[in-house]
Structure 1
Amino acid sequence: MSDTPTGEAETPNLAFEGTTPYEDYVQASVLTHLQHPLSDEPGEMAFLVTTQVMELWFTLLVHEWTTAATALRRDDIPRAMAALRRSLPELESLNASWKPIANLTPAQFNAYRSALGEGSGFQSAMYRRVEFLLGDKSASMLVPHRGTPSAHAELEKALTEPSLYDEVLRLLARRGHAVPAEVLDRDPTQRYEPHPEVEAAWQSVYADADQDSELIRLGELLTDVAELVWRWRNDHLVATRRAMGAKAGTGGSAGVAWLEKRAAKNVFPELWTARSHV
């Protein structure tokens, strides 16, 4: 409640000894001075800001999904689902980040493409942590980060930890569903591969007479996450096709061909295939 008498306008505090409390908390002056275009092309600024915004969304998603994985390990499904639910609008915002650069023509992209040099999105350490949490593990993807010890150490730790989906499947097993031992005890540094018995476990979950069961609600949240991840990959593919066609990507990647393979893969695969058998 304000002590200001009714009818008198409140005057915000405009005088501070040092930086404003907003600046101290948000660090806006740091964020807004991280853009250093390397060409004279005006469109490069949009590309830089868009990419940096995506990195911030990756950071938030890693936070949410790590929170969810930790909660699942402790059988705290409400906390896990709250984190997954928060991540949905965050994923939607990440996907919307494509809009400023989604319609680049080849000429517009080529105007500053050389500024990227050997830089490529697949070198993003935070995006790699996102993929590791989703179960797409690969030790070779640590190699680009050997020159940055802190990022390499974080990725190495993420590589060896169970993914979000690993924790989900362990929860299903604790709840009495027949998840095979070779899945529960698998090497967490390896990419997750679909298993028919995991599909059968999800089939059992979704066949429950109680269609509002905790596990079904968890499964649907995971499916929402998976769908939005697919949309992110597909939007990336379409934006790249528009900007550069089938040319090789920066950093030696296969460009569109590599993105097509990524877009064709489902996250949490048995959650999709089990639906054919319910």
Structure 2
Amino acid sequence: MSCPHQPKNKNYREVESSIHTDFKDDMSYGDYLGLEQILSAQNPLSDQHDEMLFITIHQSSELWLKLAGHELSEAINNIQEADFGHAFKVISRVKHIFNQLTQSWNILSTLTPVDYLKFRDTLGHSSGFQSFGYRKLEFLLGNKNAKLLEVHKSNPVVYRELTATLEAPSLYDEVIKVLADKKLIEDPTQLRTDFSLPYQQNEAVLNAWLAVYKNADEHFELYELAEKLIDIEDAFQQWRFKHMYTVQRIIGNKMGTGGSSGVGFLKKALDISFFPELFELRTHL
């Protein structure tokens, strides 16, 4: 018989009687999230311990990319409907998603060159360059390049969706439309109409943003929106840089598995701006 005065174990938590434990005929946490499918999707092709890290990092990154694309699509809808308040919210969320993605490279960088080479050949020609989620994200932000669709031709569903995203106005295109609607762009005919082409810096757009920044109180929503866009590009560029640097740390200047020049190819992305006028205007203020 236990002593009635014996103190309870403080390093223990009782299971509350109200907690549901029978899920024979009820939806569980795992059911809702589809965890059986998600957690069974890690299938290393080698017997190397670190391949699980490599797979998990990239699979989780794809989920974050999917969410970022979901949020940017909503931001585009918000801008079209002049719902700036909600646009600010989801754009801020995208910034934090990019920060999360950047952090993931720190985990992957614990993979040493020697350990990666033990299973690198199992990747074949598979590469992050083929990421549908990443490509859609760049198209939504405005980095359009029709040649990048070629790698997705073998998947008709993905190819059609990416083609539609390529040809549709990007987030920045929709923002520029707002500038024109508010008469901040004197001659809207100067704006591009083929949204599938790479965006080029436009003097009329630059002048419009200069007017916004010089009269920030009058155009506060547009001023705030511009700074939110800067937040996105800042976070995205940090992610690009960390990606490049992690690849350099692990494989040096070797060619990428997908056939690119590797680090050299990734470095070129750092020169591409989604919102060039928003950076250029700072020189003119």
- Normalising by structure 1, what TM-score? 0.92
Separation (CA, whole Å) in 2 of partners of 1:194 and 1:212: 22
Separation (CA, whole Å) in 2 of partners of 1:230 and 1:256: 15
Matched, 1:35 2:37: no
Deviation at 1:142, TM superposition (A): 1.5
- Residue aligned with 2:261, SS: coil
Separation (CA, whole Å) in 2 of partners of 1:97 and 1:259: 17
Asked if structure 2 preserves the Cα contact closer than 8 Å seen for 1:180 and 1:198, the reply is no
Q: 2:115 aligns with which of 108, 112, 136?
A: 108
Deviation at 1:209, TM superposition (A): 4.9
Cα distance, 1:115–1:276 mapped onto 2, change above 3 Å: same
Q: 1:96 aligns with which of 100, 103, 117?
A: 103
- What code does the residue aligned with 1:99 have? N
- Greater mean alpha carbon deviation, residues 50-59 or residues 212-221: 212-221
Cα distance, 1:84–1:183 mapped onto 2, change above 3 Å: farther
Cα distance, 1:41–1:9 mapped onto 2, change above 3 Å: closer
- What code does the residue aligned with 1:193 have? Q
- Residue aligned with 1:251, SS: coil
Ranges in structure 1 where 5+ consecutive residues have no aligned partner: 1-7
Q: 1:86 aligns with which of 90, 93, 110?
A: 93
The aligned length equals 271
- What code does the residue aligned with 2:205 have? V
Cα distance, 1:179–1:142 mapped onto 2, change above 3 Å: farther
- Greater mean alpha carbon deviation, residues 127-136 or residues 92-101: 92-101
Cα distance, 1:91–1:211 mapped onto 2, change above 3 Å: farther
Tell me which residue corresponds to 2:58.
Answer: 51
Matched, 1:139 2:143: no
CA deviations on 1:199-231 (whole Å, 9 max, x unpaired) are: 221111111151881111111111000100100
Separation (CA, whole Å) in 2 of partners of 1:23 and 1:183: 53
Deviation at 1:155, TM superposition (A): 0.7
Tell me which residue corresponds to 1:122.
Answer: 129
- What code does the residue aligned with 2:224 have? R
Cα distance, 1:175–1:32 mapped onto 2, change above 3 Å: same
- Residue aligned with 2:119, SS: helix
CA deviations on 1:84-118 (whole Å, 9 max, x unpaired) are: 12222222112112122124332122111111110
Tell me which residue corresponds to 1:199.
Answer: 206
Aligned pairs for 1:262-273 (under 5 A) are 262-273=269-280
- Residue aligned with 1:118, SS: coil
Runs of 4+, deviation exceeding 6 Å: none
Alpha carbon RMSD of aligned pairs, Å? 1.8
- Normalising by structure 2, what TM-score? 0.90
- What code does the residue aligned with 2:49 have? P
Asked if structure 1 preserves the Cα contact closer than 8 Å seen for 2:180 and 2:188, the reply is no
Deviation at 1:16, TM superposition (A): 1.7
Cα distance, 1:176–1:254 mapped onto 2, change above 3 Å: same
Matched, 1:240 2:242: no
Asked if structure 1 preserves the Cα contact closer than 8 Å seen for 2:42 and 2:55, the reply is yes
Task: Mark the structure with the bigger radius of gyration.
Answer: 2
Q: 2:233 aligns with which of 217, 226, 230?
A: 226
- What code does the residue aligned with 1:176 have? K
Q: 1:13 aligns with which of 16, 20, 27?
A: 20
Cα distance, 1:49–1:214 mapped onto 2, change above 3 Å: same
- Residue aligned with 1:98, SS: helix
Separation (CA, whole Å) in 2 of partners of 1:136 and 1:232: 16
Identity of aligned residues (%): 36
- What code does the residue aligned with 1:58 have? L
Separation (CA, whole Å) in 2 of partners of 1:19 and 1:266: 49
Ranges in structure 2 where 5+ consecutive residues have no aligned partner: 1-14
- What code does the residue aligned with 1:226 have? E
Separation (CA, whole Å) in 2 of partners of 1:42 and 1:158: 38
Asked if structure 1 preserves the Cα contact closer than 8 Å seen for 2:48 and 2:119, the reply is yes
Asked if structure 2 preserves the Cα contact closer than 8 Å seen for 1:229 and 1:267, the reply is no
